[in-house]
Amino acid sequence: MARLEGKIALVTGGGSGIGRACAKRMASEGAVVTIADINDEGANAVVAEIAAAGGQAYAVHCDITNEQSIREAVEGAAARSGRLDIVHNNAAFVTPEVFAQDIDILTLSTENWDAVMQGTLRGTMLGCRYAVIEMLKNGGGSIINTSSMYGMSAFNRQVSYGVSKGAINTLTQYVATRFGRKGIRCNAVAPSMIDTPLLRSVIPQELLDANLEATLTPFLGTVDDVAASVAFLASDDARYLTGQILRVDGGTTAHLPTYADARRFFGDD
Ligand SMILES: NC(=O)c1ccc[n+]([C@@H]2O[C@H](COP(=O)([O-])OP(=O)(O)OC[C@H]3O[C@@H](n4cnc5c(N)ncnc54)[C@H](O)[C@@H]3O)[C@@H](O)[C@H]2O)c1
């Protein structure tokens, strides 16, 4: 039997990139997936891809910066299927304009800081809130939040983004702690740079190359690598895992900062 057979799932930001891959992977493992995205066209396209592959999915318009919108998306998914087992809070508030000026605390605009906290952090908290409300009705479930390596270690830029992701890590632990005895697990995935439309719009090729230098694997991960981890965390295979931040980063954040330079120094492959 497929690992997620009979499970009812919802993925925010499932219309593109990492969320799209996660929705497709969970559907391929048997879950009925609601794709909650601000981009209706993207969400509908993923629903069609899942249906073409023999899976079952629905699209719902959802803006994670709006509490009512998240609430309706989560409640709607649960009402349609009578339960909700998996919620992947994957969407973040990232635009090329905000990302470009999200440099440091001296230069960033206070309004953009608020917008990132409201979109990414508050939106993820609200996704957890309405997921928990539904999961309590059916004795538990699995919540997965999308963090980032910028939430694990500091970078030269993107202070608002990184702080919002660091706070999502702590939020994940709080949700896991409060609701674990009710059968609800809450974990996060913290990917390094993953080739997606979002990444291409904000990260220059030189930085992608530098990131490859810092991975312990000889390749950069893909959306499917993140999706494999999310599907695992969603499944009962991960029933003893909660409150964890899983670094899906090819070991990027596992080593000393001098790793790439030391490889050159020692002449390592
Ligand atoms: N790509 C990377 O390298 C990388 C690395 C670490 C973490 N992440 C995180 O992964 C997640 C997905 O990023 P991606 O690279 O797949 O981006 P993406 O742009 O390819 O996909 C993001 C999706 O979220 C949707 N979205 C945007 N704002 C929304 C909102 N307010 N409400 C609902 N949906 C909204 C978009 O329409 C889009 O379909 C984000 O949380 C991002 O921070 C990405």
CATH code: domain of residue 66: 3.40.50.720
**Which among 25, 37, 87 is the best mutation to test ligand 1's pocket, defined by most ligand atoms within 8 Å of the CB?**
37
Stretch 62-81: mean pLDDT: 98
The residues with which 10 forms a beta bridge, in sequence order, are: 34, 87
Domain count of the fold of the chain: 1
Q: Does the residue 175 lie in any domain?
A: yes
SS3 of residue 91 by DSSP? coil
pLDDT above 90: residue 52: yes
Give the closest residue to 227 by CA, choosing from 25, 54, 2, 6. 25
Which of 246, 250, 189, 245 shows the shortest CA–CA distance to 222?
A: 250
User: Worst-scoring range by mean pLDDT, 58-62, 104-108, 156-160, 193-197?
Assistant: 193-197
- Residue 1 has a pLDDT of 67
Q: For 221-236, what is the mean pLDDT?
A: 98
Residues in contact with 54: Cβ distance below 8 Å, sequence separation at least 6, in sequence order: none
Q: Taking the CB of residue 173, how many other CB atoms lie within 10 A of it?
A: 16
Inside any domain, residue 22: yes
What is the spatial distance between Cα 159 and Cα 127, in angstroms, rounded to a whole number?
A: 23
Average pLDDT over residues 226-246: 98
- State the distance from the centre of ligand 1 to the C-alpha of 92, rounded, in angstroms: 5
Q: Which ligand 1 atom minimizes the distance to the CA of 92? A: 41
| Candidates 161, 174, 240, 259; catalytic one | 161
Angle at 71 between CA 68 and CA 74, to 5 degrees: 150
- Tell me what the mean pLDDT of segment 168-180 comes to: 98
Give domain status of residue 122, yes or no.
Answer: yes
Active site residue 161: yes
Q: Which helix (H) or strand (E) holds 229?
A: helix 223-234
- Indicate whether 3 belongs to any domain: no
| Alpha carbon of 91 to ligand 1 centroid (Å) | 5
What is the reported pLDDT for 201? 85
Q: Are strands 141-146 and 56-61 parallel, antiparallel or unpaired?
A: unpaired
Q: What is the mean pLDDT of residues 138-158?
A: 97
Percent of all residues in the chain with a pLDDT value above 70, rounded to a whole number: 100
Per the structure, the complete domain to which residue 148 belongs is given by 8-266
Helix axis angle for 17-28 and 223-234, nearest 10°, is: 50
pTM recorded for the entire structure: 0.98
What integer is the mean pLDDT of 152-181?
97
1 found inside a domain: no
Q: Are 64 and 119 in contact (CB under 8 A)?
A: yes
CA 173–ligand 1 middle distance (angstroms): 22
In a domain, 169, yes or no: yes
pLDDT at 48 over 90: yes
pLDDT of residue 134: 98
Q: What share of the chain is helix, strand, coil (3-state, %, to 5)?
A: 50, 15, 35
**Pick from 108-112, 121-125, 198-202: least confident:** 198-202
pLDDT, the chain, mean: 96
Distance CA(124)–CA(255), nearest Å, equals 29
